[in-house]
Amino acid sequence: MRKLATLFALTAASPALAASGPFFSLHNTNFIVLLAFILFIAVLFYFKVPGMIGGMLDKRSEGIKSDLDEARALREEAQAVLASYERKQQEVQEQADRIVAQAKEEAGIFAEQAKVELEKSIERRLLSAKDQIASAEASAVKDVRDAAIGIAVGAANDVIAKKMTAASGNKLIDAAIAEVDAKLH
């Protein structure tokens, strides 16, 4: 240590040699500054300040290392969670696609069934309308026949009443009774 201090003093004192007077004098400020500096360094080494600074730096580096390790672990955990969410999102998307496809398929089936039911309903209504038309037509024909029969009977009654006498009426009644009697027996 002394050799180091002497070597240091000689190298540091070389610019001081240019000053006037002897270097190793207490009147030389450069020498006093050198002594103060050496004393300061000696005090630092005596109180083990470099070891303390080194220990603090080691603790700081260990703290930084543990923070980096924790950050790395958190990053890996975050990546795992992200991958998990991406898988879940993909599964949900696939499930949504299946649901949409199934809904489209069911809608097509329901539309086809509705179309068939509509066609059947239209067919039934057409048949019902045709039946109603035929019934109305038959009713109209019957009404026309009944009216024609009524008119014909009335006209025949008037014609017969005008041309018939009591004797010819009795003859017709007897002939009708005989005809009925012949048909019944």
DSSP state for residue 164 in the 8-state scheme: -
pLDDT of 55 strictly over 90: yes
Of residues 104 and 15, more confidence is placed in 104
Mean pLDDT across 54-73: 95
Of residues 27 and 58, more confidence is placed in 58
Cβ atoms of 55 and 62 closer than 8 Å? no
153-166 tens-digit pLDDT:
777 777 777 777 77
Of residues 134 and 172, more confidence is placed in 134
pLDDT value at residue 16: 46
Mean pLDDT for all residues in the chain = 86
Of residues 53 and 22, more confidence is placed in 53
pLDDT value at residue 156: 75
pLDDT value at residue 181: 80
Cβ atoms of 12 and 41 closer than 8 Å? no
- Within the chain, residue ranges assigned H as helices are 2-13, 29-46, 49-163, 166-184
